[in-house]
Amino acid sequence: MPSNNKNTDLIRTEALRLGFDFIGFAKAQALDEEARRLEQWLNLGHHGKMGYMANHFELRTDPTKLVPGAKTVIVLMHNYAPKETQQDPAAPKLARYAYGEDYHHVLKGKLKDLLRFIHENIGEVDGRCFVDSAPVMEREWAKRSGLGWAGKNTLLIRPGAGSYFFLAELILDLELSYDAAPVKDHCGTCRRCIEACPTEAISPQGYLLDASKCISYLTIELREEIPTEFKGKMENWAFGCDICQEVCPWNRFAKQHDEPAFAPHSDLLGMGEREWHEMTEEVFAKLFRKSAVKRAKFEGLKRNLAALSDGLSR
C-alpha cells in the first residue's frame, strides 16, 4: 500500500504539472449497472444516427477488455472555459470547447507525456490513453473516481468549478490508491438546463438526454439534412451548443483556462454575422486548420449556417 500511495502521488503531481486541473483514480472493473442503462438508452434510439455507440458494447462497459489485466482507470479533467467569447451577439455561435485547437490532439499529447513519465519513474506498465475517441464511458469513470456528479443535463459537474472541462483517461495494469466515494448530486430542485433546452433534448425529469434532438448532435454528428422541426430552434448555434452549461448555476464558479493551445484564432471572436454567412472554403481552412470544427467540414458548416437562416425565415 505505501508504494501504491507513492505512485499515485507521483502521477497526480505530474498530471497537474502537465496542465490538467483535477485527477481521480478508480478501480478498473465492469460497469454492470451502467451497462444496463446504456442498453436501455440505445433501445430508446436516443443515439440517433450514431451507430458507433452500439458497437463494442463489452469494450465500452469493461476496461479490462480494453487493457488486459487493467487495474486502474485514471480520469483527468482539463479546463476549457475561455477568457473571451464571441463579440457579435447576432453572429452564429460555436461551442466554447471548439474555439482553439482540437482537444483530442492536445490532450492525447499530454496523456502520452504522462504515460512516458510513468514508464520512466515507476516502471514498465501496460496502458492506453483515451480522449473521447474510443469506447470508454468517461463520465461514469469520472463519477467513480470522485471528480464530480452527472447533472440533469448529463454533463459532469465539478463542485466549485462547473462543467467546462474536457475528460481524458489512462487505463493501466498498475494498482494505485483509489479515491473516496462518488460526489453527491448537487442539482437539487434546479431545472434550468431542462427548461432552457430549445429542442427539449433533456427529459422532463433530467438525467436522460435524447441525443438525436441535441443541437450538438444536429450540427456535428448528423450528416444528413437537419430536420425541419429543429430549424427554428437552433438559437444560432452553428457548431455545438453551450445552452445547458450557460444556464447552470455551478458554472458561476468557472475560471478561465490558461492553455495556449485552446486560445482562439485571432480573427474568430470578432467575426460578424455577415462574415460567417459569406465564409469561403479558404477562410474556413485558415480559421479552423487545427480546430475540432474541421470535423464538420466546410460543407457541413455551410449546411448548419443555412439551417440557421432557414429557421429565421420561418
Output the CA–CA distances (angstroms, integers) from residue 112 to 127, 158, 201, 220, in the order listed: 10, 25, 35, 27
Structure confidence at residue 143 (pLDDT): 96
Structure confidence at residue 1 (pLDDT): 57
Structure confidence at residue 3 (pLDDT): 81
CB contact set of 286 (below 8 Å; sequence gap of 6+): 265, 267
Catalytic member of 132, 173, 185, 310:
132
Q: One digit per residue, pLDDT tens: the chain, 314 residues?
A: 568 999 999 999 999 999 999 999 999 999 999 989 999 999 999 999 998 888 888 888 999 999 999 999 999 999 999 999 999 999 999 999 999 999 999 999 999 999 999 999 999 999 999 998 777 999 999 999 999 999 999 999 999 999 999 999 999 999 999 987 789 999 999 999 999 999 999 999 999 999 999 999 999 999 999 999 999 999 999 999 999 999 999 999 999 999 999 999 999 999 999 999 999 999 999 999 999 999 999 999 999 999 998 755 54
132 is catalytic: yes
